[in-house]
């Protein structure tokens, strides 16, 4: 699970989707990632994404990064489709964070550090 970097930049519950993405400033050094979209049952999306939102919040979607595989996996509910949320998560996968946030930059730097220290 160490290769999975589960910063997940996500849903309104995390104040995520309620906050606009800064489309003017891509995270420096963000790698090109193959985006894999999972349109799954709401319960499955909830189970995959709930660990990334505060207690008593409900995720609407999430993106899980697998930098070592050059992939970003987006999980959305097929029962409650929302084009805006899907576009939001695609922007995260492309390296765009919320306005004023450095969370994605920190996640990328942490992964680079772990990779450099790995035997």
The residue-averaged pLDDT of 95-111 equals 94
Instruction: Specify the pLDDT at position 18.
Output: 59
Q: State the pLDDT at residue 8.
A: 40
pTM equals 0.81
pLDDT at residue 84 is higher than 80: yes
Nearest-CA neighbor of 16 among 55, 50, 59, 64? 59
Residue 15 has pLDDT above 60, yes or no: no
Maximum distance among all alpha carbons in the chain? 44
Q: What is the pLDDT of residues 30-82, one digit of tens each?
A: 999 999 999 999 999 999 999 888 888 889 999 999 999 999 999 999 999 88
Given this model, what pLDDT does residue 1 score?
Answer: 41
Q: Is the pLDDT of residue 23 over 90?
A: no
Average pLDDT in the 8-29 region?
64
| Domain ranges, ordered by start, for the chain | 12-17+32-117
pLDDT of residue 53: 85
């Amino acid at each position: 699970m160490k290769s999975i970097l589960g910063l997940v930049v996500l849903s309104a519950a995390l104040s995520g989707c309620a906050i606009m993405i800064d489309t003017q400033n891509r995270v420096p050094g963000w790698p090109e990632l193959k985006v894999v979209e999972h349109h799954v049952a709401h319960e499955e999306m909830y189970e995959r994404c709930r660990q990334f939102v505060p207690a008593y919040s409900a995720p609407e979607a999430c993106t899980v990064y697998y930098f070592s595989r050059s992939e970003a996996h987006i999980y959305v509910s097929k029962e409650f489709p929302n084009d805006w949320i899907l576009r939001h998560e695609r922007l995260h996968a492309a390296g765009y964070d919320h306005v004023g946030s450095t969370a994605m930059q920190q996640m990328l730097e942490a992964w680079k550090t772990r990779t450099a220290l790995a035997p």
